[in-house]
Amino acid sequence: MATLSMKPGLRCRVPDWENSNEQISEAAQHRRHISHKIRQEGRALRNETVNKTGWDEYDSSRRLSDRINDIARWKKSLEACAQEVDAEIDALTVAKEETERALAATVLPLEVSAECLTLREGRRGNELVSDPVEAQLKKEVDVIDGAQRVLQQCIDQAFEQLCLLQEAHHQLILDLQHKMEALDVDMSCLSLTVTSPEISLKPNPTRVPPGSTTPQQWEQFSHYNVTRAKEEMQASLQLRENISITRAQVQNELEAQRIATEFTLRKRTHHLEQALQELQWQLKTTQNEITDLEGDIRGLERDMQAKMAPLKLVHTRLENRTKRPGVDLCRDEVQYGLVEEARQLDSTILALKQKLAQAQFQLNRRHQKHRSSCCRTNSKIT
């Protein structure tokens, strides 16, 4: 009888074997379930990430487009504001140059007024008077000095405002340049796609660069530049209006003072001409009087000379009659007549001498007054 050889070892039972197979099947089924779930989740994740990536890319592109629109809007605003500032700078420069020309135009009138005052100091004698002309000339000098100070102040204010406008314009241009560069960068970013050859992985692309600002700070910066530029333009406009009004007021004051000074000069000249005519008439009359007086003096001298012969005659007769002898030396009517004639001649000659002396005195006075009148006439003519 043959014997069966059996492998030594632990033998399992059929139920155990069935349980083992069942466990293996369940484990395989569980793993397949997990694998299926993972595959489904992977597919869902793929779909989700594809959609998410596409949406994020679209959203980023949209935000880039919005950002480009914002930058373009501010760029347009900055360009318009910069052009307005340029125009205001040109307008204020023109106003400043006109004011400078107005200031330069006051130099000659001031020199003329000062020269007039200097020339009038050369008047002689009683003609050196403090008349209304002198007062008006001094007032004109003061008015021109005041006008020059006011115009120079306007020029200084315009220069300071031009500096502020140029500074604001510089800030606008700098901001505009930054906007243009940022616009170029964002438009370049917007033009990139997943198929662009320029794209690549970068080290730490999510870092925050130094000097980064928030959108609020970015907008406030440009808003401040535009607001400041508009404020400076408004101040410049007000300054130009004030300068224009000031120039007009100064011109009116100078013109009014010029008219007043010229009127006073014409009035004073008229008075001087009247006084000159009066002096010339007096001079001519005095000259005629001197001529007449000289003629009368010559007549008195001739009369005195003519009285000498009768006086000599009567003296000779009286002297000769003193030689009568004895009783014939009588004081008769002839003697009394001769004595009376001699006395009358002496009285006549004395009266003629007195009148001649008076005439000579008056003639000397007339000559002195004549010389004085000539000097005064020459002074008025000068």
Q: 113-147 pLDDT, tens per residue?
A: 999 888 888 888 777 788 888 899 999 999 999 99
* Mean pLDDT, rounded, for 345-374: 77
**Nearest one of 70, 19, 87, 73 to 240, comparing CA atoms:** 87
Confidence of residue 378 (pLDDT cuts 50, 70, 90): low
Q: How many CB atoms lie within 10 A of CB 240?
A: 19
State both tokens at 204: 């730490």
Q: How many CB atoms lie within 10 A of CB 13?
A: 8
- Among 63-77, 101-115, 186-200, 225-239, the least confident range: 186-200
d(CA 259, CA 136): 10
**Nearest one of 70, 372, 93, 85 to 226, comparing CA atoms:** 85
**pLDDT tens per residue across span 156-176:** 999 999 999 999 999 999 999
Cβ within 8 Å of residue 226, ≥6 positions away = 77, 78, 81, 172
State both tokens at 209: 């660069």
State both tokens at 143: 């008015």
Indicate the average pLDDT of the chain: 86
**Nearest one of 116, 127, 119 to 375, comparing CA atoms:** 127
**Half-sphere exposure of 289 toward its Cβ, with a 13 Å CA cutoff?**
16
Query: Is this prediction's pTM over 0.75?
Result: no
Is pLDDT larger for residue 149 or for residue 47?
A: 149
Helices (H), 192-332: 215-321
d(CA 341, CA 330): 18
**Nearest one of 223, 241, 246, 237 to 89, comparing CA atoms:** 237
State both tokens at 104: 């330069």
**Half-sphere exposure of 271 toward its Cβ, with a 13 Å CA cutoff?**
9
Is 60 exceeded by the pLDDT of residue 373? Answer: no
pLDDT of residue 222: 92
pLDDT of residue 9: 56
d(CA 70, CA 218): 11
Confidence of residue 242 (pLDDT cuts 50, 70, 90): very high
How big, in percent rounded to 5, are the helix, strand and coil portions of the chain?
85, 0, 15
Q: Is 238 exposed, middle or buried (0-12, 13-18, 19+ CB in 10 A)?
A: exposed
**pLDDT tens per residue across span 24-76:** 898 899 888 999 989 898 888 888 888 888 888 888 889 989 999 999 999 99
d(CA 88, CA 230): 10
pLDDT of residue 247: 95
pLDDT of residue 310: 83
Q: Which amino acid makes up residue 36?
A: H
Q: Which amino acid makes up residue 187?
A: M
Share of the chain above pLDDT 70, in %: 93
State both tokens at 322: 């003193």
Helix axes 215-321, 333-381, angle to 10 degrees: 170
d(CA 66, CA 280): 98
pLDDT of residue 1: 45
- Among 60-69, 207-216, 320-329, the least confident range: 320-329
Q: Do 125 and 379 touch, CB atoms closer than 8 A? A: yes
